[in-house]
Amino acid sequence: MKHLLLVFLSAVAIGSQAQGWQALGLTAINNETSTCLGTHQGVLYASNLTGGLRKSYDNGTSWTPIPVNGVAGQIKGFTSTGSRLYMFSEDGSASGYIYWSTDEGATWTADTTGMPPHAWIPGGHGNVGELHGYNGRLALICAGGDAYYVKAETDAAWQPVPWLAANDPGSFWSMGDTLMMHGGGAQSQGFAYTTDHGQSWVTPECVGLPDWYSGAVLKHDPLTGRIYSVGGSSIVIGPNLHYSDDLGATWTQIDLTSFLTIGASVWEFTHQVLDLHVHGPHIWLSCTNGQINTRPDLFHSSDGGATFVRDTVGLPEDPFGTYVMHDLMEKDGYVFAVANFNDVFRRELGPVGIADRTPSLALRMWPDPVSDRLFLAGEAITGARYLVRDAMGRPVLQGTLGQDHGIAVQALANGTYTVQLLDVAGRHSAQRFVKN
């Protein structure tokens, strides 16, 4: 009996450990510059000073070194667009560089033509603040608040976009061909978007965002199209998270005060949200900590932000109170995160993860093609939220299913659309239909 109890307890321990975070072996030395993580065409890429540039075909279980001949400085980040994997780096003089590869990192080509000059080093380039790739295009932010944009990955040179520079974006995100920006400019009210590759920008009213709001992180839920915004925390605004279902016209705040607080002054942050990952009702928030000999503060919600719990099993203890989990991303049934000054971590999407908590929803749809009203059928879908996207990925209709489970589509132009459905239990479905 005692033996059986020990076996049972061991099995429980192993199972608990399997649900926690697992280090992937790119361990950095203390106070080393942060590791960066990215993915391109199903391959995982990571880099730091200790491990160098590496790629993985098995989600981080094993890594293959990649030569970086001709690459200047230390690699700071990755992005993927079209056929190209992009990365950017910074040398000791804070000069920035951009490179791309189409052969999984075997060779790299510099893409620095047109980048803004270094503030005080002749011939140098401004440091890259963010490089965002989407649908064969890229958006770039360089040091000094100068924002640059290129329409296509194959363009020969970076070109400045005056409207972006005037509105000082802090980050970019995209859904299909819709490029969104976060910033603090007078025109943008903290948020704006373009559907024509930066030629013109829409500035929604942003009802619900606080005054003096400055966006820091922008993400969206791939199941529903809901946009999530993390703003720069302050003693006035506090730690905050907002979402919008109408491309920024209105925003709703998720209350974080039950587990996140700030200090007595604007400079005394006890917690500040720095990154997030969203999938259906599941939200991960990475926050600053400041407490030595504790694990990095990473919180998880499985109910759309109504409640949060710490998700830190398997993460390293922080001797300096400086670890922050960043580069949060999802791939092949795993959530990945990077602990600055430490390692890359992953966790299976198990009982507290999105795989088991957001099962697929069996759904039927008719008529197709449709001219007037689209009807859906499935188990307990009354009250489910729907989002209709056009062929470019832009939201065009949204709402809640009534008793007849119908969606009025007569106002839509003829073409192909996708309807996404998220029911009250967190189940999801996405199907295409033709409006004719």
Given this model, what pLDDT does residue 18 score? 43
Could you give the domains of the chain?
21-357 (2.130.10.10), 364-435 (2.60.40.10)
Bridge partner residues of 133 (DSSP): 138
The predicted structure's pLDDT at residue 96: 92
What's residue 239's pLDDT? 67
Per-residue model confidence (pLDDT) at position 374: 93
Task: Kindly list the averaged pLDDT for each block of 10 residues, start to end, along the chain of length 436.
Answer: 36 43 83 83 90 91 91 93 94 90 94 89 88 93 77 90 83 91 71 90 88 80 88 60 92 83 48 85 84 82 87 85 85 89 82 40 83 87 82 76 90 86 70 85
How many whole angstroms separate alpha carbon 134 and alpha carbon 144? 24
What sign for the dihedral angle of Cα 70, 73, 77, 81?
A: negative
What pLDDT shows up at residue 194?
A: 92
Q: What is the pLDDT of residue 233?
A: 55
